[in-house]
Chains A and B, each alone.
Chain A
Amino acid sequence: MPLSFSIAVIAIPLLMFLFLGLAGVKMGRKLTGVLGVIAMGVTTVIAYGVALTYFFDSSYIVDGVRKAVIVWNPDWLSFTKDYVVRMGIAIDPIAAMMLVVITTISFFVHLYSLGYMSDHHGNPEKGFQRFYADLALFTFSMLGLVVATNLFQIFVFFEMVGVSSYLLIGFYYHSPAAIHASKKAFIVTRLADLFFLLGIMILGYYTKSFDFFNQNGLTGICDSIDAAHLAIAKAGGATFMGCSVMAWALTFIFIGGAGKSAMYPLHIWLPDAMEGPTPVSALIHAATMVVAGVFLVARLFPLYVIEQGSMEIICVVGAFTAFYAAAIACVQSDIKRALAFSTISQIAFMMTSLAVSSADGALIEIHEGYGLGYMASMFHLFTHAMFKALLFLCAGAIIHAVHSNENSDMHGLHKYMPITSIAFLIGCLAIAGIPPFAGFWSKDEILVACYEKGLGWGLWMSMVAGMTAFYMFRIYFLIFHWKEHKVHTEHKPADQVWTMTLPLIVLATISIVAGFVPMHDLVTWDGKELHTQLNWTVAGTSVAIACVGIALAFVMYYKENPLPSKMKNAFSGLWEAAYHRFYMDELYQFITHKVIFKAICVPIAWFDRKFIDGFMNLLADVTSSASFAIRRLQSGSIQSYVYVYIMGALLLAVVTMACVLFM
């Protein structure tokens, strides 16, 4: 399939959004849903075709390097001759991989929503059509983001995924919690995007280009390591507060990515975003949008490689977030929130992996195995998208069956929902890193990369991997085992309709086999094949740690026993703190309400009311009275018109004469 078909991949979701958004209300619910699913199915097939062509057609490999292909790139805004913003489509390894990920998950979520969104606690769901229109908008935005040819386009689509995420989190707009959550998500990510924009401006100012890839003889900023060197050299070593401007720019851009990818301390919006419908959480807040930050850093990877300072920051933030979120996930009782913290932790894995992949050299000596972390990160992004979407969709099925998010309302569901239970178990095994499930392969590569940076980094991440296994199985046992809940006997929950079960089965299958995708041949930072082999020491250790985590969870949560409450009482302080997410939300509340609002906003509001409004009112009053005063000028009689006319002309002449000739 020619790569130009990728235009259709972008266009179909956009058209679906417009069509469903405008005509949806006139159509039946069923028709809307089926149309959405079919359109997404077509998109998925085309996206697969494009990705497979790109990966397996050797004509895209030049000198052993898989080259980025610019399919379409028209000028959009030209500020000056140098500064041209384009909008287009570029296919490179990570873009092709993301096309596959996004369309797959989006398709299954579309299908799943047919069942999930059909009723809301027994009543027909309001806004079914709106839901599908918004899903299409999100899919379009996300696809546009990954195929972006330049930083500006990425920014535009970054905002658009933010908006569609906002719309979907607040889908239940009659619920105050959903509204708060959507606002919080939007504001936090917008704040981060402010830094992103700053970063883009600094970068654009110094490099005189927004484009990623070489085209028409113009050098892109991160087409290769040489291009990146060239771009950074253009800054001419300019510094700001002791750091090079490029380091500032890249750090700012990372902050933008950190907002979307929920890195500490900008993670606070993601758990709340779980107020949205569960399919949305699966698509946006687990598999696709939240990895936009990782994608962004991966996209600019050659630049980050050179600016080691920014890379160090990413590394520290990532490693800390991974642990921090995992710790919180261990005590959450709401299953979607627990999964949300797990997502944060896993994305932090990807960030860390990106950051450690270049850590071993002063200005890059490229050696065998270099860039392993990059590959591992992308690999993990791929596998994680699959199994985390699976886990969320399972959670959705459970929530749909028991009408609650609390695991205390779920206990012992294994008997009632066997398919969901097995699918969830597969997801848990995959995320815990048990071979041969998908997560094992990608996480193993990440750990190897971390051990290469240093033993400390490796051990730290191994520990977090163990925690991952523990909290995932804690959730699993609490939902499906523990003690059977009384309510279930009367209100028999069951596996859901086929539209909801089929995605679970398919995604579970993918989660088993996705680890065997030869990612190291396909997705590498420089387009060359990377030769890797299983590092048995690391693999063995990580499997052992995972098993310990699972065993611990088994002992504590498989059957009802007093151990968990004993542990809770023994470490009550720690438990409380983790349960309340280490009081980060309260800290934010304090800073915004007590400090920023009181110290800055109140005086500004006063100034606004007294001076700005006063000025505006004055303007309005003056205008209004002037308008009243001069109304007689327009008398309606032609004689006076001509009089004013000639007087005007003469006055113009005479005053000018007076000014010019006598001054």
Chain B
Amino acid sequence: MDYSQFLQMPQEVGLLLVFLLVFIYDTFMPQRSQRALPVFTTVLFAIYTALCFVPCQCVNACEAGSLFGGMFEVNAATWAMKNILNVGVLLVLLQAGNWTNSDFMSVRRGEFYELLLLTLFGMFLMVSARHFLLFIIGLESASLPIAALAAFEKNRYESHEAAAKYVFTAIFSSAIFLLGVSFVYGIAGSLYFNDIASSLIGEQSALLIAAVAFVIAGVGFKLSLVPFHQWTADVYQGAPTAVTAYLSVISKGAAAFSFLVILAQVFGAAYSTVWEWMLYAVIILTITIGNLFAMRQRNLKRFLAFSSISQAGYVMLGVIAVNTLGMASMMYYILVYIFSNLAAFGVIAAIERQTGKTTTDDYNGLFKTNPWLSFTMMLAMFSLGGIPPFAGFFSKFFIFVGACHTGSVAIYVLVLIALINTIISLYYYLLVVKAMFIRQDDCVIPAIKSSCGERAGMILCALGIILIGLVSCIYVGLTEATESVSEIFALI
């Protein structure tokens, strides 16, 4: 085996290095310096993230290419996607610092970071995998530790419930997914994406349709697409807020990207006959049902769970577009979504940590006691709702443009439905803003002093929400990155 191949995956190697250092610190450092672990991890991860932004050309080793006999692929798009995930994880780490330093976490602090970084590694594998075996390893290592993370607050009943529901559903969806993959293997006789793709050309059988449906169901679980979404609300509500934040953005981002790769590259030949219509139905259901449920939620974490279901539907518009523009828009959407959602979760976590309050009614008149938190929350809601000039507007705009680029009438209709749903979603996003700014009741939440990490995280999120849309080079860079991997769409 040629070990120099590892040099071509500096992002994964770097991540493992960070993991190892954190692990060593956790294991061997004396008890009194353990409280510095969050800072240590965050700084280390920040350095790692920054290094990953060094342009690819500077690191000779990391040319695009496939490694390990074609199982693992590195190219501009995967590179960019992993960078997006890194940025998101960095924000999560910043916001979680205080929570992990609370007393009941003292014995488990290290585990939180280690599990988090390991799931991220699993997601990197999903993003880069070009072989179903590797993909499933990635999928599982990105799923199972999350159950442990969800159960972290072991004194709370809801935390257990969340973990149990997550682990059952995850196992179930894995089973379905594996069934689907085994069908594929039965048809194609290979697990390499390329080989499957070429042997599926012209194929049209009930087995293939079942396989595609099961694959969609399997990955749909990670993305919480309707009707594979029902675990979402309970898990989001029960899990610790830092974990929920992680689950809602990072895990979804990685799943969406690999979903696009699988559907476009592996099942590209079956696009118009099989999965376009499946996905079409799933998208409409996801956006609409997510919205309908989000309207009625009073608990903010549950509310964001349904909002994130609906947002996942918009992300899928980038998948159904099956072109490089759609792919770029999807990545851009994920990036913006990371910033917007984490801003919201940052505020919720800060308030929950100090007062334990998580319902919209508690937020009435928040503006008077916590103007900056309310402002950040407002930015997040505006961005999630897609109000210009915030980043969420641009990401929605680009994803619609990407979808419309296909030029098919059915997709226009889909975009129209998505647009109408955007209007509906404004209703519930603005409800939160209304509660904070317009309700005149006395606020039950006292003025809160957030920690440095939380503050830094929220400021970064707010800046991201304001600036990402205006700095055009980000989207342009993503389009260039995806154009270089246009061969993914060769079979469409």
Contact = CB atoms under 8 A, between A and B. Distances in A.
Interface of A: 75-78, 619-620, 623-624, 626-628, 630-631, 633-634, 636, 638, 640-642, 644-650, 652-653, 656-657, 659-661
Contacts of A646: 172, 176
- Of the candidates B231, B234, B292, B420, the one having the most CB atoms from chain A within 10 angstroms of its own CB is B292
Contacts of A623: 291-292, 295, 424
B278 interface: yes
Interface string B449-478: 000000000000000000000001100100
Contact of A652 (B168, B169, B213): B213
B296 interface: yes
Interface string B270-284: 000110011001100
B165 A656 contact: no
A642 B213 contact: no
B267 interface: no
Interface string B251-280: 000000000000000000000011001100
Contacts of A631: 293, 296
A644 B230 CA distance: 8
Interface in B414-428: 420, 423-424, 427
A630 B292 contact: yes
Interface of B: 164-165, 168-169, 172-173, 176, 204, 206, 209-210, 212-214, 216-217, 221, 226-228, 230-231, 233-234, 273-274, 277-278, 281-282, 289, 291-293, 295-296, 420, 423-424, 427, 472-473, 476
A653 to B, nearest CB: 4
Leading 7 A-B pairs by shortest Cβ distance? A648-B227, A653-B213, A649-B217, A641-B230, A627-B292, A652-B213, A653-B210
B274 A644 contact: no
Contacts of A78: 472, 476
Contacts of A659: 277
B476 A645 contact: no
Contact of A634 (B164, B169, B293): B293
Given A77-B472, A619-B424, A642-B169, A648 B217 contact: yes
A648 B423 contact: no
Nearest to A645: B228
A154 to B, nearest CB: 19
A74 to B, nearest CB: 9
Contacts of B424: 619, 623
Contact of A660 (B169, B274, B293, B476): B274
Given A77-B472, A645-B173, A634 B278 contact: no
Given A634-B233, A645-B172, A652 B216 contact: yes
Nearest to A629: B292
Contacts of B282: 652
- Of the candidates A631, A652, A656, the one having the most CB atoms from chain B within 10 angstroms of its own CB is A652
A626 B424 CA distance: 12
A88 to B, nearest CB: 14
Contacts of B226: 648
Contacts of A630: 289, 292-293
- Of the candidates A76, A77, A648, A659, the one having the most CB atoms from chain B within 10 angstroms of its own CB is A648
A641 B231 contact: yes
30 contacts: A75-B472, A623-B291, A627-B292, A627-B293, A627-B295, A630-B289, A631-B293, A631-B296, A634-B233, A634-B293, A638-B169, A641-B165, A641-B169, A641-B230, A644-B227, A645-B221, A645-B227, A646-B172, A652-B278, A653-B209, A653-B212, A653-B213, A656-B209, A656-B274, A656-B278, A657-B206, A657-B210, A659-B277, A660-B204, A660-B209
B295 A656 contact: no
A644 B285 CA distance: 13
Contacts of A648: 217, 226-228
- Of the candidates A620, A656, A660, the one having the most CB atoms from chain B within 10 angstroms of its own CB is A656
Contacts of B217: 645, 648-649, 652
Q: Would you call the interface of chain A mostly helix, strand, loop, or mixed?
A: helix
Contact of B176 (A628, A634, A644, A649): A649
A636 B234 contact: yes
B214 A649 contact: yes
B394 to A, nearest CB: 11
B233 to A, nearest CB: 6
Contacts of A628: 296
A662 to B, nearest CB: 11
Given A627-B295, A650-B213, A660-B204, 4 more contacts: A76-B472, A630-B293, A642-B169, A659-B277
B213 A656 contact: yes
Nearest to A660: B273
Given A631-B296, A645-B169, A649-B213, A619 B231 contact: no
A642 to B, nearest CB: 6
A634 B292 contact: no
- Of the candidates A631, A638, A649, A653, the one having the most CB atoms from chain B within 10 angstroms of its own CB is A649
A657 B204 CA distance: 10
Contacts of B169: 638, 641-642, 645
Contacts of A619: 420, 423-424
B289 A647 contact: no
A407 B334 CA distance: 65
Contacts of A627: 292-293, 295-296
Contacts of A636: 234
Contact of B209 (A626, A638, A640, A657): A657
A580 B186 CA distance: 90
Nearest to A636: B234
A647 B476 contact: no
B277 A642 contact: no
Contacts of A77: 472
A660 B164 CA distance: 38
A337 B436 CA distance: 46
A530 B121 CA distance: 71
A646 B172 CA distance: 9
Contacts of B173: 645
A509 to B, nearest CB: 44
A656 B277 contact: yes
Contacts of A642: 168-169, 172
A389 B233 CA distance: 65
Nearest to B164: A638
A645 B217 CA distance: 8
A62 to B, nearest CB: 33
B214 A653 contact: yes
A624 B295 CA distance: 8
B226 to A, nearest CB: 8
A661 B423 contact: no
A497 to B, nearest CB: 38
A630 B289 CA distance: 9
Nearest to B228: A645
Contacts of B473: 75
Contacts of A657: 206, 209-210
Nearest to A623: B424
A75 B213 CA distance: 45
A98 to B, nearest CB: 27
A455 to B, nearest CB: 55
B416 to A, nearest CB: 13
Contacts of B281: 652
A646 B220 CA distance: 12
B213 A638 contact: no
A388 to B, nearest CB: 36
Contacts of B295: 623-624, 627
Contacts of B172: 642, 645-646
A626 B206 contact: no
A76 B470 CA distance: 9
Contacts of B168: 638, 642
Contacts of B164: 638
Contacts of A626: 292
B217 to A, nearest CB: 4
B165 A638 contact: yes
Contacts of B291: 623
B275 to A, nearest CB: 8
